[in-house]
Amino acid sequence: MISLNIEKTLGFISKENVFAYEAQVKAAQEALENGTGKGNDFLGWLHLPSSITKEHLADLKATAQTLRDNCEVVVVAGIGGSYLGARAVIEALSNSFTWLQDKKTAPVILYAGHNIGEDYLYELTEYLKDKKFGVINISKSGTTTETALAFRLLKKQCEDQRGKEMAKKVIVAITDAKKGAARVTADNEGYKSFIIPDNVGGRFSVLTPVGLLPIAIAGFDIEKLVAGAVGMEKTCGKDVPFAENPAAIYAATRNELYKNGKKIEILVNYNPKLHYVSEWWKQLYGESEGKENKGIFPAAVDFSTDLHSMGQWIQEGERTIYETVISVEKTQHSLQVPSDEANLDGLNFLAGKHVDEVNKMAELGTQLAHVDGGVPNMRIVIPALNEESIGGLLYFFEIACGISGYILGVNPFNQPGVEAYKKNMFALLNKPGYEEESKAIQARL
């Protein structure tokens, strides 16, 4: 269960005005349920958690086991929604130093295909030279340049190092059922493959094999993750009254803040393991709402780290921001501050306290300071960093995003703006079929 508290936004906007969104939220929920809104061919995520079968999870777990048995390292090749969900969950649940531990209980998960860094790819392929590695090639379209380029390198290296037969066993494709180069390659090579449903967009795909397979390979319980999302599907259901539905309140509050000049939402965490949850959230809200010259700009910070960099701006910069804090109620481990006889650092007043007590006071103190500085604050509390909480949190953000996008009046399920850079890049690289664009772009240089 998660809880949402908007009390600390109420000096800036009124509860009355937030609750005035009730009818718009209802209309958005109905449009989602009945498939009558914009982008209605991409609503497969809406009841995805409750439609996942035991057989599907068993199939995923069996494939995960094959890779766990045969690989020291698994490279997840994907970009945007085709890698951020898996990375968000894996990093939230993993030991922070797992790759440095000698005794590993699961393959190390590495990522590629999310940049075009020559040095990154060189260093990755160098590292993999003496490793038994596998690859998950994830691309809904099956044609994304970043991913295809990385996969071309990794496929060759895997076959060269491990032989064609073993490569076939440890390369998995997650892509469209019929279209795209990733599908053709998987079928031709005989790779195990999973389908990304047509009606689930990349940024909403974490609970499809896109997220579930890498998460299972990393050793986490995908049944519990899905159960957490199923719970949230109920908590945020269309028939839950507005005042009790956290997704409805979150969507309404952020739209009201936006209307009042708060153009930037900063997602805040106090746990470095949540960094990639924020990255996933940024894509979810950025691609969904940033269009038609409108939309809240989704930003993120990791506190208290970034209090020592961005903290100044947040406290005293332009007052166009609000914060949404993700607070984790309970830590997984316990560590107390030791007492020190000399007390040269003056920290004996903390002796015996848990580190998290200090963190929680940093959180509370920051919230009060930022509210005093003119920054409205929302607070989302999750019980712990475990599969159930994270599964619930991800679904909460998805459903709230669908509602929020409809309130804003945009199609939250397309991303036409992403094509502009691709067109120019292809023209500059003289991709066949782009002759006219190549000529036109060269004339501009």
Ligand X SMILES: O=P(O)(O)OC[C@H]1O[C@](O)(CO)[C@@H](O)[C@@H]1O
The amino acid that residue 126 corresponds to is E
Q: Which residue is nearest to ligand X (CB)?
A: 202
In whole angstroms, the minimum distance from the beta carbon of 198 to ligand X comes to 12
Whether 387 is a known active-site residue: answer: no
Asked if 29 interacts with ligand X (CB under 6 A), we say: no
- Measured from the CB atom, the residue of 63 and 205 that comes closer to ligand X is 205
Asked if 398 interacts with ligand X (CB under 6 A), we say: no
In whole angstroms, the minimum distance from the beta carbon of 71 to ligand X comes to 22
CB atoms within 10 A of CB 102: 4
Geometric angle at alpha carbon 284, from 282 and 285, rounded to 5°:
70
CB-count exposure of residue 182 (10 Å: 0-12, 13-18, 19+): buried
In whole angstroms, the minimum distance from the beta carbon of 431 to ligand X comes to 16
* Positions 411 through 430 that interact with ligand X (CB under 6 A): 415, 418
Residue from 274, 301, 224 nearest 382 by CA: 274
The amino acid that residue 35 corresponds to is G
Asked if 147 interacts with ligand X (CB under 6 A), we say: yes
In whole angstroms, the minimum distance from the beta carbon of 39 to ligand X comes to 13
How many Å apart are CA 121 and CA 150, to the nearest integer?
7
In whole angstroms, the minimum distance from the beta carbon of 7 to ligand X comes to 35
How many Å apart are CA 370 and CA 368, to the nearest integer?
6
- Measured from the CB atom, the residue of 210 and 267 that comes closer to ligand X is 210
How many Å apart are CA 214 and CA 193, to the nearest integer?
13
In whole angstroms, the minimum distance from the beta carbon of 287 to ligand X comes to 6
Options 63, 144, 288, 324; binder of ligand X; rule CB under 6 A? 144
All residues at 6 or more sequence positions from 320 whose CB lies less than 8 Å from its CB, including other chains:
261, 262, 263, 264
Asked if 202 interacts with ligand X (CB under 6 A), we say: yes
Options 68, 203, 282, 291; binder of ligand X; rule CB under 6 A? 203
Question: In the stretch 216-255, what mask flags binding to ligand X with x, by CB under 6 A?
Answer: ----------------------------------------
- Measured from the CB atom, the residue of 200 and 300 that comes closer to ligand X is 200
3-state secondary structure 43-89: CCCCCHHHHCCHHHHHHHHHHHHHHHHHCCEEEEECCHHHCHHHHHH
Buried b (16+ CB within 10 A) or exposed e, 404-422: bbbbbebbbbbbeeeeeee
Options 28, 79, 226, 326; binder of ligand X; rule CB under 6 A? 79
In whole angstroms, the minimum distance from the beta carbon of 369 to ligand X comes to 36
Asked if 81 interacts with ligand X (CB under 6 A), we say: yes
Options 37, 39, 80, 209; binder of ligand X; rule CB under 6 A? 80
Options 140, 169, 254, 291; binder of ligand X; rule CB under 6 A? 140
Enter the tokens of residue 252. 């309404």
Q: Find out whether the peptide bond into 304 is cis, omega within 30 degrees of 0.
A: yes
Enter the tokens of residue 268. 């805040």
Asked if 82 interacts with ligand X (CB under 6 A), we say: yes
H or E element: which one contains 190? none
- Of 104-112, 136-144, 216-224, 435-443, the window that binds ligand X (rule: CB under 6 A) is 136-144
CA distances from 339 to 331, 352, 353 (A): 21, 7, 10
Give the pairing type, strands 377-384 and 321-330.
parallel
In whole angstroms, the minimum distance from the beta carbon of 354 to ligand X comes to 39
Size of the residue set binding ligand X (CB under 6 A): 14
H or E element: which one contains 379? strand 377-384
Set 259, 422, 423, 439: catalytic member: 422
**What is the three-class DSSP state of 5?**
strand
Options 223, 279, 287, 363; binder of ligand X; rule CB under 6 A? 287
In whole angstroms, the minimum distance from the beta carbon of 139 to ligand X comes to 3
The amino acid that residue 416 corresponds to is P
- Measured from the CB atom, the residue of 183 and 203 that comes closer to ligand X is 203
Options 5, 125, 141, 438; binder of ligand X; rule CB under 6 A? 141
- Of 76-84, 87-95, 96-104, 161-169, the window that binds ligand X (rule: CB under 6 A) is 76-84
H or E element: which one contains 266? strand 264-269
- Of 79-87, 261-269, 320-328, 384-392, the window that binds ligand X (rule: CB under 6 A) is 79-87
Set 287, 323, 363, 398: catalytic member: 287
Whether 146 is a known active-site residue: answer: no
How many Å apart are CA 97 and CA 160, to the nearest integer?
30
- Which residues in this chain contact ligand X in the complex, by CB under 6 A? 79-82, 139-141, 144, 147, 202-203, 287, 415, 418
* Residues labelled catalytic: 287, 422
